[in-house]
């Protein structure tokens, strides 16, 4: 991480920070609505955003409305549904094509028989995507995959993306990397060095995009990754964000973020 600090010259505006939500800013819960959002989180993210001239965004598989609800009253730039939804820093919402939203509704409806048979499965319909969670029934992974494959067979514009105990159908061409690159073409992100923090396989596209643009991907937890850096857990993400905001206060912040500290470690295998 020290190379990013050197690039910044101690000036926070030269960094742009992007994070996943579930498993990164909050611990993963049994169901999507059961996440526990720490009382301090919205204030910390607001402070981070202000210290970095608002070059801070959440890139998530959730809908934007979910992030707004969990972080209220804070409204950040957000890419939802893996980039199929996006709210720019100026508040502009980029709308999805009606055909995409209609196809997502059709895919969600096709899951009804499976859900009736297995009540422990959770369907998360989104505006432009569909997620099928099997965290409470991991033995049903193959059944979920087969059902989703059959559903998107009628909608070739969609693709399947596996995650942690979830299979998601989303429009082809949208991922966390494309969302990050779209933000980086706009103010206040343009011209800065991107950092992307995430924990899941769906975050690999974000790591790749950040690193292609000269930045760093930071993988939370174990597992194979292309990210150059690794961080232990959600609490360490909070510590990292706090350390990054200290860059504006002077050179003492660099000691908190140096490569030898326990907050971050180089990824030994990609």
Identify the pLDDT of residue 256.
46
User: Dihedral of CA 16/22/28/34: which sign?
Assistant: positive
Number of domains in the chain: 2
Residue (of 198, 140, 207, 127) closest to 167 by Cα position = 140
Point out the residues of the chain with pLDDT beneath 70.
Answer: 1-13, 248-262, 268-270
Identify the pLDDT of residue 131.
93
- Tell whether 207 and 159 lie within a shared domain: no
Predicted model pTM: 0.85
Identify the pLDDT of residue 260.
40
Here the CATH number for the domain that contains residue 260 is 3.40.50.1000
Instruction: Give pLDDT tens digits for 149-200.
Output: 999 999 999 999 888 899 999 998 899 999 999 999 999 999 999 999 999 9
- Tell whether 22 and 40 lie within a shared domain: yes
Residue 123: domain span:
98-171
Distance CA 198, CA 26 (A): 11
Distance CA 89, CA 34 (A): 28
Identify the pLDDT of residue 262.
56
Identify the pLDDT of residue 32.
85
Distance CA 82, CA 85 (A): 7
Identify the pLDDT of residue 14.
86
Residues catalogued as catalytic: 20
Domain end call among 171, 187, 204:
171
């Amino acid at each position: 991480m020290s190379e990013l600090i050197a690039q910044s010259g101690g000036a926070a505006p030269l960094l742009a920070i992007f994070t996943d939500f579930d498993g990164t800013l909050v611990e993963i819960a049994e169901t999507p609505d059961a996440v526990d959002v720490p009382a301090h989180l919205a204030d910390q993210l607001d402070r981070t955003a202000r210290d970095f001239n608002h070059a801070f965004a959440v890139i998530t598989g959730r809908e934007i409305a979910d992030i707004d609800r969990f972080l209220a009253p804070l409204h950040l730039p957000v890419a939802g549904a893996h980039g199929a939804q996006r709210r720019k820093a100026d508040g502009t919402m980029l709308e999805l094509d009606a055909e995409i939203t209609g196809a997502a509704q059709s895919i969600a409806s096709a899951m009804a028989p499976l859900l009736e048979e297995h009540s422990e499965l959770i369907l998360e319909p989104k505006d432009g995507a569909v997620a099928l969670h099997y965290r409470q029934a991991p033995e049903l992974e193959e059944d979920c995959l087969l059902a989703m494959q059959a559903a998107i067979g009628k909608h070739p514009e969609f693709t399947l993306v596996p995650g942690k105990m979830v299979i998601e159908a989303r429009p082809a061409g949208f991922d966390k990397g494309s969302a990050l690159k779209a933000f980086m073409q706009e103010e206040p992100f343009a011209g800065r060095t991107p950092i992307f923090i995430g924990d899941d396989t769906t975050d690999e596209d974000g790591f790749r995009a950040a690193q292609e643009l000269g930045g760093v991907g930071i993988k939370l937890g174990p597992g194979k990754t292309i990210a150059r850096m690794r961080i232990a857990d959600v609490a360490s993400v909070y510590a990292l964000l706090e350390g990054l905001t200290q860059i504006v206060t002077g050179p003492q912040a660099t000691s908190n973020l140096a490569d030898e500290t326990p907050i971050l470690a180089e990824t030994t295998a990609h």
